[in-house]
Amino acid sequence: MKTISENTCFGGTQGVYSHTSTVCNCDMTFAVYLPPQAKSGPVPVLWYLSGLTCTHENAMTKAALQEHAARRGMAVVYPDTSPRGEGVADDEDYALGQGAGFYVNATQAPWAAHFQMYDYVLTELRELVMAQFPLADSHGITGHSMGGHGALTLALNNPDKFASVSAFAPIANPTASDWGRVQLAAYLGEDETAWQAHDATVLINAKGWSRDVLIDQGTSDQFLELLKPEALSAALASARIPGVFRMQPGYDHSYYFVSTFAGDHVDWHADRAG
């Protein structure tokens, strides 16, 4: 692991690091915020998965999580959204390729050689940060947009790995959306049964969730038709899953929205940390 930068932030340390990923077959960059409490011992972890076009840096600088994480004694891990670099497949469409990994393990050419973001986040990066930083084995996961989709699907598929889950304006029903059908077909092939494990609405209907969920969605989000929050809300209600689904009046899809409710989400996860 290589240290790119480390800065003091709210009494803790905001770091950016890189390493060679065997899962993604390229160098990957990620960020970790360690709160001041980490100087005294291991702290619980909040994973933040970013959306389309983002890197680790967007949320690190715009989502305003560090102050709340320092207040509650939580680390925050910000993975990148996809493999990158020379030789990594890409596409002219911003919603496919570099910056748009959709947190799946691609099985189709040319994506399968590098786009293994599901295993990267769930296993490889998790093992790396647990070995390199003073982190407790207590993990919550959240994310925005494509990252909200990733957070929900990773948690729903791996309830033993995550104590809590929340999302900001997630892509809630990608198998029924243009933000999902194109990407899932490209990465996983035309057999739609392979897509089901990567759709939070489908997973809630099929598997449920034994804990509660926090979802925030802006009513003025310009991508509401692509996100399909109503499908997820209906699934949560049908499955009688406790939690909070908040339609926030006037908020759009931007980091202004995320940063406004960042404190609520950090508190949510901190209250549920094992």
Cis peptide leading into residue 110 (ω within 30°): yes
265 is a catalytic site residue: no
Q: Residue 257 in 3-state DSSP?
A: helix
Q: Residue 14 in 3-state DSSP?
A: strand
Report the chain's C-alpha Rg in angstroms: 17
Q: CA 218, 270, 156, 149 torsion: positive or negative?
A: positive
Q: Which residues contact 215 (CB under 8 A, 6 or more apart)?
A: 148, 166, 167, 170, 229, 232, 233, 236, 243, 244, 245, 246
Cα gap 23→166, rounded to integer Å: 26
78: which strand partners? 31
DSSP per position, 101-149: -TT-B--STTTTTT-BHHHIIIIIHHHHHHHHS-EEEEEEEEEBTHHHH
221 is a catalytic site residue: yes
CB–CB of 265/214 below 8 Å? yes
Q: Max alpha carbon distance in the chain (Å)?
A: 51
Instruction: Indicate the DSSP class of residue 25.
Output: T
- Catalytic member of 21, 82, 145, 164: 145
- Catalytic member of 82, 221, 265, 269: 221
Q: Residues of 12-25 as b/e, b for ≥16 C-beta within 10 angstroms?
A: bbbbbbeeebebbb
68 is a catalytic site residue: no
| Ramachandran sector of residue 192 (left: φ over 0; alpha: ψ -120 to 50; beta: rest) | alpha
- Catalytic positions are 145, 221, 253
